[in-house]
Chains A and B, each alone.
Chain A
């Protein structure tokens, strides 16, 4: 057996450079499915406590404790009957590609993690809600589920208590809002993916009105290791207050964009160094720490630790942990316009601030980028950020959309002003934004 102290990249230990998939035999030769075996020998509530004590925080963006979330599911004695777990593998946050990496290379790890979560909340059906475009993931996951069923790792009577589990792969048809957990549940029921009012929370009444837990892919992938190696091992992996590792990613003008598994709490600068640093001739100006719906931070912040508390304290969110870099040759107004265009297009249209506010913001930014901006536009934009902010909308999409904009206005205000004063985009982006304006034609 491998010395557990040497396992410091548990989630990616099987990922091969050639991109090939980890087979069931390979997975099982290195304690694969033994975390599940261990869980199945414990009582479900012991598993919940185990994960709660490990303080595994959700990797889907919000950082909520997984064990705590599970503990809100009413015990089977109190609420008998069907319950569900769902793996959120929708991954449509701009700039995010970590879940794809995990699923493509090591599908059994996710299946084992999802099975552990299912056992913990006594769900007999588990869904993997996979985004539409991940064809390779779909192929490999389905194959792995079939293998696990054939090997008796999933299916009927998995332990003496008679726990059984059916696992199903559901591929979506592409819409960012499906990643929001209550919208995801609507989508899975065959409805328009509009978010649902909370409460009731999904843990009490979710899919088909039954108790439901939704966890992110990366969150679930941690479970086999936490069960097998224990809480102390997991706690020791993290550098700061948080436990475990994190899949960090970098995209933008770096030499070697990609993602890596590093101790959670690794410094921003060290993560950028993994990407080989900036391309020759370009300078870093800022970064979105965890996807398109997080606030910009600047080069002043690169020595901060990438963990939930530190990044929040600095005024942003760790989000998905996959950062997007802004360099000195990229127009920040154009970048924010691109993000807002995405959110406007992907808005589900349910509530007015988001449905109307985002296209309004897009229009102002389009005018700024085209050199038609006026100074009062900047105040107007800030006002609109409040209008679509937390508390004013039905879900977190619109407040998330406000984050890159409000922080760009704070850190890069001069860039906005330059567009107005020079009556054009100083980076030469002035003509027509090409983004998807005619897309409606096909839908």
Chain B
């Protein structure tokens, strides 16, 4: 048996030599409104990251630099926050993100069957995006909907009591839309 000593921490290497990608007008206003809520601009980091992500689906290095400038932080400080949280994507994701709950109640109620079916259908592993950029599959911790297990979030919509067949149906619908 080989013990794993590595951590589960994400490994991401940003390149700060890249050009800054200035915040657009919408991002500027939305971030300014958030900064207003706190005594220190840094406290708006998560909101700023989310605002950017909402616009372009993920947060690029250039945008991290722009946020850092706006919040008077270093890019590394902003990135250390960005990489800490599950729902901030530092790499491009598909047009539809499917987050399948892999926690205990969903596991008891059939998560493994769902994961198997959907990875087979799309021919990608969890954590990957289909080559056409349509769908990203992510495992996600307990979604607080264990009374409807097994569940997934498809395009920000909670879908409940899934079966492999019903999940595949949702996947195909998402593929048609994009």
**What are the residues of chain A within 8 A of B109 when measuring CB–CB?**
251-253
Q: Closest A-chain residue to B93, C-beta based? A: A442
Point out the residue from A174, A249, A327 that lies within 8 Å of B86, measured CB to CB: A174
Whether B108 sits at the interface, judged by CB under 8 Å, is yes
**What are the residues of chain A within 8 A of B104 when measuring CB–CB?**
94-95, 288, 292, 324, 335, 338-339, 342
Looking at A133, A342, A348, A374, which has the most chain B CB atoms within 10 Å of its CB?
A133
- For B104-143 the 0/1 string (1 means CB < 8 A from A) is 1101110110011001000001111000000010111111
Q: In residues 335-355 of chain A, which contact B (Cβ within 8 Å)?
A: 335, 338-339, 341-342, 344-349, 355
Point out the residue from B89, B105, B141 that lies within 8 Å of A252, measured CB to CB: B105
Point out the residue from A189, A250, A348, A440 that lies within 8 Å of B43, measured CB to CB: A189
Point out the residue from B42, B145, B147 that lies within 8 Å of A189, measured CB to CB: B42
- For A303-325 the 0/1 string (1 means CB < 8 A from B) is 00000000000000000001010
Whether A27 sits at the interface, judged by CB under 8 Å, is no
CB distance B146 to A349 under 8 Å?
Answer: no
**Interface of chain B: mostly helix, strand, loop or mixed:** loop
- For B9-50 the 0/1 string (1 means CB < 8 A from A) is 111100000000000000000000000011110111111011
CB distance A434 to B40 under 8 Å?
Answer: no
Q: Closest B-chain residue to A188, C-beta based? A: B43
CB distance B139 to A187 under 8 Å?
Answer: no
Q: Closest B-chain residue to A360, C-beta based? A: B3
- For A86-111 the 0/1 string (1 means CB < 8 A from B) is 00000111111101100000000000
**What are the residues of chain A within 8 A of B146 when measuring CB–CB?**
94-97, 249, 251, 257, 322, 324
Whether A359 sits at the interface, judged by CB under 8 Å, is yes
- For B133-162 the 0/1 string (1 means CB < 8 A from A) is 000101111111111110001001010000
Interface residues on B, range: 35 or more
Whole-angstrom CA separation of A172 from B125 in the bound complex: 27
**What are the residues of chain A within 8 A of B90 when measuring CB–CB?**
442-443
Whole-angstrom CA separation of A285 from B32 in the bound complex: 54
Point out the residue from A95, A288, A330, A349 that lies within 8 Å of B8, measured CB to CB: A349
Other A-B contacts than A170-B47, A349-B7, 13 sampled, CB-CB below 8 A, are A94-B141, A94-B146, A99-B144, A171-B50, A173-B86, A173-B88, A174-B87, A190-B44, A251-B108, A372-B1, A440-B8, A442-B91, A442-B93
- The 10 closest A-B CB pairs, nearest first, are A438-B127, A173-B85, A443-B10, A190-B45, A174-B86, A251-B146, A436-B139, A174-B87, A190-B42, A251-B105
Report which A residues bind B (CB closer than 8 A): 82, 91-97, 99-100, 131-135, 168, 170-176, 187-193, 208, 249-253, 257-259, 288, 292, 322, 324, 326-327, 330, 334-335, 338-339, 341-342, 344-349, 355-356, 359-360, 362-364, 367, 372, 374, 377, 429, 434-443
Supply 26 A–B pairs (Cβ within 8 Å), ascending by A: A94-B104, A94-B141, A95-B103, A96-B142, A96-B144, A97-B144, A132-B86, A132-B87, A173-B85, A187-B46, A190-B46, A191-B81, A253-B108, A288-B104, A292-B142, A324-B108, A347-B7, A359-B5, A372-B1, A374-B1, A377-B1, A434-B111, A437-B127, A440-B11, A441-B91, A442-B89
